[in-house]
Structure 1
Amino acid sequence: METNIVGVGVSISDRFRSVVEEKVLRIDTLAPRAQRIDVKVTHRAYHNGHMEDSTVELTLTGRGPVVRAEAVDADKFTALDLAVDKLAEQLRRAKDKRVDARNHPRGATYDKGSGALEGIDLEPASADIIRRVATGEISVVGEGAEDEAYTPVVIRVKRFGAEWMTVEDAVDRMELVGHDFFLFIDARTDSPSVVYRRKGWDYGVISLAAQAAPAELAS
């Protein structure tokens, strides 16, 4: 597996490179189909240099979805250990889910006649949140923009290309990137949707209707 190491605000020593190569062997056994791992080390100093930390980000690419993990610590070697542990755990969970899916197929079913999706928790999107964003009550700050004034609620925006997939595939992708939610477009309904983690192996889905009714927005 190809390894690429980049340092931001910090030089990458030969010792760190050798440790990374050792850790990659562990990942290689868990993801034999992976073709490349990118390691990004970012060093930050706060309060005139009195406080420092390092962030290690791991991105695994190959045949299949991208897998990511990151960790922060004052020592970059410790951050690397933590990030590798997270990545390994995500790969193990994904493998366990594949085995569990083969033995116990997930029960989410879509009724083409009624348009109902059963076997998974569904919640409607909040019309109140849509109204508050539309009226500017909740400020939206683009990534990289400076906060000119304090506001108790700030939404930072990241834009990604839309991906159509099933709810089940979205849950798998969420597990692989190590997040508690995953935004996608439901291939069954063409609705913008979010899967999110609940407890254990339980997940929920928030699905946005194609168009909110005017009465709902006014309420």
Structure 2
Amino acid sequence: MEIVVVGRHTVVADRFRKQVEDKLSKVELLSPTARRVDVEVTRENNPRMAEQRERVELTVRAKGPVIRAEAAADDRFGALDLAIDKLNERLRRARDRRKHHRNHRPNAGATTTRPIDDDVLTPDNRTEPQVEAPAALAEPGDSVETTMGDSPVVIRQKLHSAEPMTLDDAVYEMEMVGHDFYLFIDKETARPSVLYKRKGWSFGVVQLDDACIGEAVAAR
């Protein structure tokens, strides 16, 4: 299994790299198909964020969904320990899910739906800042950062590959990467969809209308 450690706005010392290798030794036990782990270390230079100035993000690439965990602390070794704990928990859940799927077939019609509140993510109640369009992304995994004018706001754009999946699978994969939202292609409708967390154990789904997709393609 390959381990790739990179630093953003910081230099990563050999001592930390050795610690990463030791801490990630259990990954192959929990995920035998893991072929690579990306480790990104970011240092925040803002004095107001001293208690979370070091951030560590771990991404396991294996057969199946990407599994990610991140954490921040006042030093990168502490952030690494917190991120490792989150990662191992998600790897265990992924392993248990694989075992469950091998022994059980999903129940048809188990998912129920209801309309999403109209006051969530509507054009009338959100602002749309003017951001200069970044360079085109050519390959899945490519990313680029763009600064919004003279402000300190930075927009990061990343290109992902996607396969059609069920809503249940989308919820699972969102939890595996530790995000509050997840972009996917709905297997039943073939529509680009965004799954997002609401309060408690509630989730919402926003889908693009087929007519809008056709108009966007025609306008290119």
**In the aligned structure 1, how far is the partner of 2:146 from the partner of 2:196?**
26
Runs of 4+ in 1 over 6 A off after TM superposition: 48-52
Post-superposition shift, 1:145?
Answer: 3.1
2:217 is aligned to: none
**In the aligned structure 1, how far is the partner of 2:27 from the partner of 2:113?**
34
Q: Which has the larger radius of gyration?
A: 1
TM superposition score normalised by structure 2: 0.70
Instruction: Indicate conservation of the 8 Å contact 2:52/2:72, yes or no.
Output: no
Identity of aligned residues (%): 39
Quickly say closer, same or farther: Cα 1:49–1:86, change in 2 above 3 A.
closer
Post-superposition shift, 1:158?
Answer: 4.0
For 1:163, the aligned partner's letter is A
Q: Does 2:139 match 1:139?
A: no
**In the aligned structure 1, how far is the partner of 2:69 from the partner of 2:118?**
30
CA RMSD in angstroms comes to: 3.6
Which protein has the bigger strand share?
Answer: 1
1:156-171 paired onto structure 2 within 5 Å: 158=157, 160-161=159-160, 163-167=162-166, 168-171=168-171
Unaligned runs of 5+ in 2: 132-144, 213-220
1:28-177 paired onto structure 2 within 5 Å: 28-47=28-47, 53-102=53-102, 105-109=105-109, 119-124=111-116, 126=118, 129-132=121-124, 138-140=127-129, 142=131, 144-146=146-148, 158=157, 160-161=159-160, 163-167=162-166, 168-177=168-177
Post-superposition shift, 1:44?
Answer: 1.8
Post-superposition shift, 1:3?
Answer: 1.2
Count matched residues: 197
Post-superposition shift, 1:120?
Answer: 3.1
1:194 is aligned to: 194
Post-superposition shift, 1:103?
Answer: 5.0
TM superposition score normalised by structure 1: 0.71
Q: Which has the higher relative contact order, 1 or 2, with Cα contacts under 8 A spaced 6 or more apart? A: 1
**In the aligned structure 1, how far is the partner of 2:50 from the partner of 2:94?**
40
**In the aligned structure 2, how far is the partner of 1:3 from the partner of 1:210?**
41
Post-superposition shift, 1:127?
Answer: 8.7
Post-superposition shift, 1:33?
Answer: 0.8
**In the aligned structure 1, how far is the partner of 2:90 from the partner of 2:130?**
31
For 1:144, the aligned partner's letter is T
Post-superposition shift, 1:165?
Answer: 1.4
